[in-house]
A and B are shown apart, each in its own frame.
Chain A
Amino acid sequence: MSRIKATFAKLAGEKRKALIPFVTAGDPTAAITVPLMHVLVKAGADVIELGVPFSDPMADGPVIQRSSERALINGIGLLDVLAYVRKFRETNDTTPIVLMGYANPIERMGLEAFAANANAAGVDGVLIVDYPPEESVAVLKVLDAAGIDSIYLLSPTSTDIRIKLVANSARGYIYYVSLKGVSGAANIDTAEVGAMIQRIKAETSLPVGVGFGIRDGATARLVADVADAVVVGSRIIQEMEASAVEDQLANVEKLVSDIRIAMDA
């Protein structure tokens, strides 16, 4: 059983929801990423989404773009990100890692090479925001063969036809982008989210995670009532931006722990 599947099965048994934090690899320093991943697990993360820095993160808001820019200044590329995952796996063989990023760095490495490297490093899933199902038929095949789950997005504007299309391609879990907008924008309407999740659930038995707009324990709790997983991204990066370098790990741990506690309450 894949790590993602095992994780969601275990959580379902405990009647708990998954907490999925997002951080950008190599931000703000190359050295922080692996310790940060372990801190996230300690604070209650069930799955980690690790951002692969890209020069033109079109679907992300300013917070994640800034984190991407900082990582790029540190010279962090896809090979470094895979190295972090390999290092993380030396002491953690259970927490699923999902790489999140854009198609171009992967195409540049070559799809087959990427799939082989990612598998060898211990990557469990890949979410490539600019690979919709229509454009990633070949990608899906290669990642399937490498045992890597392809995670796809759905959004409030997704039609029933597109929900079906994504449901047919999706592996691991589906990531529902709860806002019309880029990552890190505005507030969330949980009733609307709940209704959309019902539509998605009608097409798939996969868990559905919700991201974009989750700020704290309270919003996470609201989302956890209607979804299988809660994704927190921009908020963690903002916490790191607001913290002195030596406090970053401790402050992120506190933030994520608070969210975990609120979700489980």
Chain B
Amino acid sequence: MKLNDLPKNSSAESAYDLPDATGHFGPYGGVFVAETLQAALLELNIEYERAKADPEFVAEFQRELKHYVGRPSPIYHAKRLSDELGGAQIYLKREDLNHTGAHKINNTIGQALLARRMGKPRVIAETGAGQHGVATATVCARYGLECVVYMGSEDMKRQAQNVYRMKLLGATVVPVDSGSKTLKDALNEAMRDWVTNIENTFYIIGTVAGPHPYPMLVRDFNSVVGKECLWQMPELIGQHPDAVLACVGGGSNAMGIFYDYIPHKNVRLIGCEAGGEGVETGRHAASLTAGSPGILHGNRTYLIQNADGQIIDTHSVSAGLDYPGVGPEHAWLKDIGRAEYVPVNDDAALAAFHRLCRTEGIIPALESSHAVAHAMKMAPTMGKDKVLLVNLSGRGDKDMATVAERSGLQFFCRPSCQMNQLKQAKQ
């Protein structure tokens, strides 16, 4: 089976074959980059097409997913949560159980294998929450590649543990102090590195954005998630879910689980964007809900921008969703009505985070908590025979400090240390 094969049999109702040869999804996508990057993107595109058709490459990718990542990831029925909500049954696709704790590793393995195939000894990456950086550092250690990760200095503060993990794995983490010091600035900086070191460097992009062929190849490598669900759900409950939910920042976990469901028109696809403090406050990262089409980071897509066409700083409690653009394929799926996109606010995501911890013993990533939150909102309005499948794209260990701080707690301060503080205060 090829990486991006869509099931063309049985319940698949219509063909979907995007992007086109020049990387467009309708008016979105494309290759909007300076001439300096054109040759590298063309080389990557050609090599990827070859790799995709090479049974050895595909077999190695699948072997790595099985033995290194631990795939297939299970689907879990969140029964206590569903019972409490009293409506639709919520199922979780457990990408949090992957090696490195998120879906990101699916893509980084694929791209690292491409880097090796193309003879590029040096890998660069950008990262927001740090999950993609960790996943990249991991595979670079695994394949013996040099790894440089660009990360906004603001994000480095929010995700200090992931910075340490990357360093443990042998990566160099470069702080980015320009602009808003977050993901988009890290992406700008990584692009600059790539332009300068194009001959020996492979750029592993972590989401389904950027210039063609990135949105396509990141989707293809992550589409293993949806492919597994397509056989796992019928095996578990004898049917496909009524809706599939996933959080959307750049949108790689969402494209990964949506892609194989696209031809299954009876399955609703729902992307949950970061509503931040509320779309009406302007402090959010919901580009599909509140943005407008434009060009950023090499592709045309929905952007959060001002009247002058400048990109505006975004906000989300989760660093991984804090991005002013979104993958071009999501823009297209929104326009053609195949997928729906809703904003989920910080507070709702945090409430879902805590609820999943307590009812199911699963600590979700704050990113994934956005999708859980929307499932919790939908479930009570639906019958008990309805099924919601949520992509639990990552685990929440990295978010301990953020959540503790939000709850007004001092991180890592156990009762014994609190006693010591009290004693010191008295003295």
| Contact, CB under 8 Å: A55 / B295 | no
User: Closest chain B residue to A54 by CB distance?
Assistant: B310
Interface status of A90 (Cβ within 8 A of chain B) = no
In the bound complex, CA of A57 to CA of B22 (Å): 24
Which of A15-23, A147-155, A251-259 faces chain B?
A: A147-155
Residues of B contacting A106 in the complex (Cβ-Cβ under 8 angstroms) = 309
Choice from A69, A103, A108, A153 contacting B36 with Cβ under 8 Å: A153
Residues of B contacting A107 in the complex (Cβ-Cβ under 8 angstroms) = 293-295, 309
| Contact, CB under 8 Å: B35 / A56 | no
| Contact, CB under 8 Å: B39 / A108 | no
Interface status of B179 (Cβ within 8 A of chain A) = yes
In the bound complex, CA of A132 to CA of B41 (Å): 13
Q: Nearest chain A CB to B362's CB is how many angstroms away?
A: 37
**Chain A window 80-119, contacts with chain B (Cβ cutoff 8 Å), 1 for yes, 0 for no:** 0000000000000000000000111111110000000000
In the bound complex, CA of A130 to CA of B127 (Å): 23
Interface status of A45 (Cβ within 8 A of chain B) = no
Residues of A contacting B42 in the complex (Cβ-Cβ under 8 angstroms) = 159
How many residues from B make CB contacts under 8 Å with A? 37
Choice from A130, A134, A159 contacting B34 with Cβ under 8 Å: A130
Which of B166-174, B190-198, B263-271 faces chain A?
A: B190-198
Interface status of A177 (Cβ within 8 A of chain B) = yes
Interface status of B31 (Cβ within 8 A of chain A) = yes
In the bound complex, CA of A132 to CA of B34 (Å): 7
| Contact, CB under 8 Å: B308 / A177 | no
Choice from B39, B196, B294, B305 contacting A181 with Cβ under 8 Å: B196
Choice from A61, A79, A104, A159 contacting B296 with Cβ under 8 Å: A104
**Chain B window 286-319, contacts with chain A (Cβ cutoff 8 Å), 1 for yes, 0 for no:** 0000000111111000010101111110000000
Interface status of B45 (Cβ within 8 A of chain A) = no
Interface status of B184 (Cβ within 8 A of chain A) = yes
Interface status of A166 (Cβ within 8 A of chain B) = yes
| Contact, CB under 8 Å: B32 / A132 | yes
**Chain A window 211-252, contacts with chain B (Cβ cutoff 8 Å), 1 for yes, 0 for no:** 000000000000000000000000000000000000000000
| Contact, CB under 8 Å: A157 / B310 | no
**Chain B window 11-48, contacts with chain A (Cβ cutoff 8 Å), 1 for yes, 0 for no:** 00000000000100000001111111011101000000
| Contact, CB under 8 Å: B179 / A181 | no
User: Closest chain B residue to A129 by CB distance?
Assistant: B34
| Contact, CB under 8 Å: A55 / B310 | yes
| Contact, CB under 8 Å: A104 / B305 | yes
Residues of B contacting A157 in the complex (Cβ-Cβ under 8 angstroms) = 36, 38-40, 198
User: Closest chain A residue to B298 by CB distance?
Assistant: A130
Interface status of A167 (Cβ within 8 A of chain B) = no
| Contact, CB under 8 Å: B179 / A182 | no
Residues of A contacting B308 in the complex (Cβ-Cβ under 8 angstroms) = 77-79, 105, 108
Beyond A55-B310, A154-B35, A157-B36, is A130–B196 a contact (Cβ under 8 Å)?
A: no
Residues of B contacting A134 in the complex (Cβ-Cβ under 8 angstroms) = 22, 31
| Contact, CB under 8 Å: A59 / B305 | no
In the bound complex, CA of A60 to CA of B30 (Å): 20
**Chain B window 175-197, contacts with chain A (Cβ cutoff 8 Å), 1 for yes, 0 for no:** 00011000011001001100110
Interface residues of A in 181-231 (CB under 8 A from B): 181-182, 185
| Contact, CB under 8 Å: A58 / B192 | yes
In the bound complex, CA of A69 to CA of B309 (Å): 14
Beyond A59-B34, A135-B31, is A108–B307 a contact (Cβ under 8 Å)?
A: yes
Residues of A contacting B31 in the complex (Cβ-Cβ under 8 angstroms) = 132, 134-135
**Chain A window 51-82, contacts with chain B (Cβ cutoff 8 Å), 1 for yes, 0 for no:** 00111111101100100010010000111000
**Chain A window 129-167, contacts with chain B (Cβ cutoff 8 Å), 1 for yes, 0 for no:** 111101100000000000000001111011100100010
| Contact, CB under 8 Å: A182 / B195 | yes
| Contact, CB under 8 Å: B39 / A58 | no
In the bound complex, CA of A129 to CA of B33 (Å): 7
In the bound complex, CA of A80 to CA of B17 (Å): 43
Interface status of A180 (Cβ within 8 A of chain B) = yes
Of the listed residues A65, A109, A152, the one surrounded by the most CB atoms of chain B closer than 10 A to its CB is: A65
| Contact, CB under 8 Å: A181 / B35 | no
Known: A58-B192, A157-B38. 5 other contacts (CB 8 A): A56-B311, A102-B295, A107-B309, A153-B36, A182-B192
Q: List 26 A–B pairs whose Cβ atoms lie within 8 Å, in order of A's numbering.
A: A55-B312, A56-B188, A57-B188, A58-B34, A58-B188, A59-B33, A77-B307, A78-B309, A104-B309, A107-B309, A108-B305, A108-B309, A130-B32, A130-B34, A131-B32, A132-B33, A134-B22, A135-B32, A157-B38, A162-B35, A162-B39, A166-B35, A180-B36, A180-B195, A180-B199, A181-B195
